[in-house]
Amino acid sequence: MDKVFGSSKKHSDSGEHWMSVSDLMAGLMMVFLFISVALMRDAMVERDKIKEVAETYQQTQQAIYVALYEEFEKDLIKWGAEIDRETLSVNFTAPDVLFANGRADLNENFQQILDDFIPRYLSVLDSYKPIIQEIKIEGHTSSRWNHDSTDYEAYFNNMRLSQSRTRAVLGYIMSLEPVVVEHYHWVKQNVAAVGYSSSKLTLDKLGNEDEQKSRRVSFRVITNAEEQIRKILEEV
């Protein structure tokens, strides 16, 4: 009988042992569940914040585009310009008006355009300054240089030319009295001159290079939406 009872007690102890392991496993599962729920909640909060920034970005893009278009609608044709809704770029695409062929000196007509355009442009953007990361003055060329140039030579010759042209544009802007008086320090801190050579060609409907539209100067607004998203990710 003792053997029997002893055997029964042994089985009882074993049962209690396995019961404790089961309780432990159940407890760990609950801990993992709570961790998973917390991580999912953080991910949802992060997603919602990024979504909010993206929606605000889209609304801001639209608002800036509308403001620019309403201000310059009547001038675009006579300036040979257009406004790109997606990139918030004001593109001046009449190369003969901008510069002499192969030169970086601003034509008199382009100077007169900038005299009118720049003060109004900065005035339109004034209320959006807190969300503007940068304004880029972008110089673009066609892929052509001369008949004897290799593709490599043409690209780097046009690179030097496009960079010289945008520096000339920025220098002229910084000398304008309305800019000097009202916007000088902001322009100095937030406006950059960039030359892209022929790396961003304009193509026609058939996919061929449109040489005239490729030779352009653009004023592009860049908002700080990406910076805001990066800050959200760092916080999370």
Q: What is the pLDDT of residues 79-127, one digit of tens each?
A: 999 999 999 999 999 999 999 989 999 999 999 999 999 999 999 999 9
Residue 115 domain-assigned (yes or no) = yes
Tell me whether residue 2 is in a domain: no
Per-residue pLDDT band at 50 (split at 50, 70, 90): low
Residue 210's SS3 state is coil
Dihedral angle at the C-alpha atoms of 199, 203, 206, 211, nearest 10 degrees? -100
What range does the domain containing 85 cover?
51-232
Closest CA to 47 of 231, 234, 232, 235: 232
Q: Is residue 46 part of a domain?
A: no
We report the CATH number of the domain holding residue 73 as: 3.30.1330.60
User: How crowded is the C-beta side of 142, counted as CA atoms within 13 Å?
Assistant: 16
CA–CA gap between residue 114 and residue 204 (Å, rounded):
27
What is the count of structural domains for the chain?
Answer: 1
> Residue 192 class from Cβ within 10 Å (0-12 exposed, 13-18 middle, 19+ buried)?
middle
Task: Specify if 209 maps to a domain.
Answer: yes
Q: Distance of CA 205 to CAs 78, 113, 119, 202, 216, Å? A: 24, 29, 35, 10, 18
- The pLDDT value recorded for residue 147 is 83
236 C-beta neighbours (distance < 10 Å), count: 12
Highest-pLDDT range among 111-115, 147-151, 223-227: 111-115
Q: Residue 33 domain-assigned?
A: no
Q: Is residue 15 part of a domain?
A: no
Looking at the chain, the whole-number percentage of residues with pLDDT higher than 70 is 76
What whole-number percentage of the chain has pLDDT above 90? Answer: 62
Query: What pLDDT does residue 90 have?
Result: 98
Residue 79 lies in a domain: yes
Is 22 contained in some domain?
Answer: no
Q: What is the mean pLDDT of the chain?
A: 85
Confidence bin at 172 (pLDDT 50/70/90): very high
Residue 150's identity, in one-letter code, is: T
At 95, list the tokens: 């190369």
